[in-house]
Amino acid sequence: MSKKLPNKVAIVTGASKGIGASIAKHLAAEGASVVVNYSSSKEGADRVVADITKAGGKAVAVQGDVSNKADIDRLFAESKKAFGPLDILVNNAGIYEFVPLEAVTEDLFHKQFNLNVLGLILTSQAAAKQFGPKGGSIINISSVVSTLAPPNASVYVATKGAVDAVTRSLANELGPKKIRVNSINPGMVLTEGVHSAGIAGSDFQKDVESKTPLGRVGQPEDIAPAAVFFASDDSAWLTGETLVIAGGMR
């Protein structure tokens, strides 16, 4: 069967685990050479690269904190050195912290906005410079919280609302350069982060499942095929779209 992304080059930010790792593996399985970006978990990133190469794909791990412009410049330079000019950027790196209004601090605000919003804009800027005349695809990983807006999450919800708005704005701005910009908005997905936050198996998870028409929370593998779709020519006439993947939860 022919692959959907032959000779393409992709950067996936925050790809050492969870949704990012699954997206990196799925892109590689479709023929893309993948740069597995990580901030701190070298071990996790190396494992993702090993899984990809074992399956016959091409990948390298590159460290970089994408809330830092110098790190972003290095990430994109390393990517070009390894595989040539870029075709696909997946903005997956992000953090969340749920706190009530009275616990919000300036530090908490800037930490989440610097990575979830500023980092995403700066990586998109770097990608737009590197995409060739054929254009490219930027895929932002947002969240269903941007519309669900749960309590005790004002800052995180604000970052994801911003990501949705940035997606639409950049789609309008970059369309003439044949660069498509779309967003995937997952519901609750059982990632390592969700496990370490103590959410997996909690009453909160059960509550989410009870409100989800398909009756379960997601797995990283539920999200990754949509990234392949947005990266490939299957979505050649789609830009500025927000795809909610949340088992029907709205």
Phi, psi of 37 (to 5 degrees): -85, 145
Asked about 156 being catalytic, the answer comes back as: yes
Note whether 200 and 190 are within 8 A (CB).
Answer: yes
| Strand ranges (E), 146-194 | 179-186
- Residue 111: Cβ within 10 Å count: 15
Residue located via tokens 């006439």: 237
DSSP-derived 3-state class of residue 248: coil
User: Residue 60's beta-bridge partner residues?
Assistant: 35
Identify the active-site residue in 156, 158, 163, 235.
156
Name the residues annotated as catalytic. 156
